[in-house]
Amino acid sequence: MSFDLAAYLADRRRAVDEALERYLPAKDAPPATIHEAMRYSVFAGGKRLRPILAIGGAEAVGGTMERVLPTACALELIHTYSLIHDDLPAMDDDDYRRGRLTNHKVFGEAIAILAGDALLTLAFGLLAEHASIEVVREVAWAAGTFGMIGGQVVDIQSEGKSVDAETLEYIHRHKTAALIRASLVSGAMLAGASPPALTAIREAGTHLGLAFQIVDDILDVEGSLEELGKTAGKDRRKKKATYPEHFGLETSRLKAKALIEDAKAALLSLGSPAEPIRALADFIFQRKS
Ligand code: GRG
């Protein structure tokens, strides 16, 4: 029987949402505005891809979802903080995210900045309490200036310029791929993965992360506000460095597909427990939102 990814995603997403519900401060806990703003963006929908990858990373090496749930939630909180800040007028200046108005459109810029800061702070609090020091380090590097923030800096500095393929790959590997890889790796680390298993997971995460961002670039060209939950076509209007702009749509699709196959090949040595991540790899390529 083939693996039922839809059921797997629905089950893991429910568990992640229930845990997030527990970890986020109550909407009416004072000062209520900030807690409402945090919850507004976290519970606006979202695929929960990073937490599910953390769970899949653990399960691939014999671990359990329960052990990694707080870390999985921390990764989603960091991701949500990056979306809130990325949407600010000083950055991408977006009105829609996850199918609703962006955080600053509802709560104002000051609260949106603080909501992002608060989610990041809460995430590291959760990691400190429930993860290992190795995982805290992994996530900190992935989210920081040698990871996501570094990629965002080069992305912003490249707007309106024609960048070479190396810079484009640098942006994508850092802005997006670093946190995706850290998600898989953190789950596997907490589950006590052996060094060879961790190497395989790290390699798969590197390929998956880059493929994810290339597909994101393609969706920005081909998708709509209804499908994506955010304004489509923004990359072109903002003259962003993207794969379709640099290589064309068809070559970008081929590159993403090759990366997905590389990721699946890296996971072969882990056998059937890695089946959910292999199915997730295909999902990343086929997704429409
Ligand atoms: C502001 C520090 C800082 C970093 C911003 C990741 C990032 C860097 C910005 C997010 C904006 C963006 C569109 C990034 C490209 C790919 C990406 C992360 C898309 C959104 O991720 P999904 O599709 O979103 O997993 P959901 O809503 O499903 O969780």
Residue with tokens 């309106």: 160
Return d(Cα 107, Cα 97) in angstroms, integer.
14
**Counting atoms of ligand 1 from 1, which one is nearest the CA of 83?**
10
**Counting atoms of ligand 1 from 1, which one is nearest the CA of 79?**
6
Can you list the residues of the chain whose pLDDT is less than 50? none
Query: Who contacts 257 (Cβ-Cβ below 8 Å, separation ≥6)?
Result: 211, 285
pTM: 0.96
pLDDT, position 224:
84
Regarding the beta carbon of 232 and ligand 1, being less than 6 Å apart is answered no
Rounded to the nearest whole angstrom, what is the distance from the C-alpha of residue 84 to the centroid of ligand 1? 9
**Counting atoms of ligand 1 from 1, which one is nearest the CA of 49?**
25
Question: Longest C-alpha distance within the chain, in Å?
Answer: 52
Regarding the beta carbon of 46 and ligand 1, being less than 6 Å apart is answered yes
Rounded to the nearest whole angstrom, what is the distance from the C-alpha of residue 239 to the centroid of ligand 1? 18
* Atom 24 of ligand 1, nearest CA residue: 46
Rounded to the nearest whole angstrom, what is the distance from the C-alpha of residue 1 to the centroid of ligand 1? 34
Regarding the beta carbon of 86 and ligand 1, being less than 6 Å apart is answered yes
Structure tokens at 246: 């640099």
Peptide bond before residue 25 is cis, with ω within 30 degrees of 0: no
Regarding the beta carbon of 213 and ligand 1, being less than 6 Å apart is answered yes
Span 218-275, pLDDT tens digits:
999 998 888 888 888 888 888 899 999 999 999 999 999 999 999 999 999 999 999 9
pLDDT, position 225:
84
pLDDT, position 61:
98
pLDDT, position 1:
60
Which residues on adjacent β-strands are paired with residue 101?
A: 96
Regarding the beta carbon of 101 and ligand 1, being less than 6 Å apart is answered no
Return d(Cα 258, Cα 235) in angstroms, integer.
23
Rounded to the nearest whole angstrom, what is the distance from the C-alpha of residue 97 to the centroid of ligand 1? 10
pLDDT, position 223:
87
32-42 and 109-130 helices, crossing angle to 10° = 80
pLDDT, position 231:
83
Report whether 76 contacts 51 (CB < 8 A). Answer: yes
pLDDT, position 2:
80
Report whether 249 contacts 218 (CB < 8 A). Answer: yes
Q: In this structure, what DSSP letter does residue 30 have?
A: S
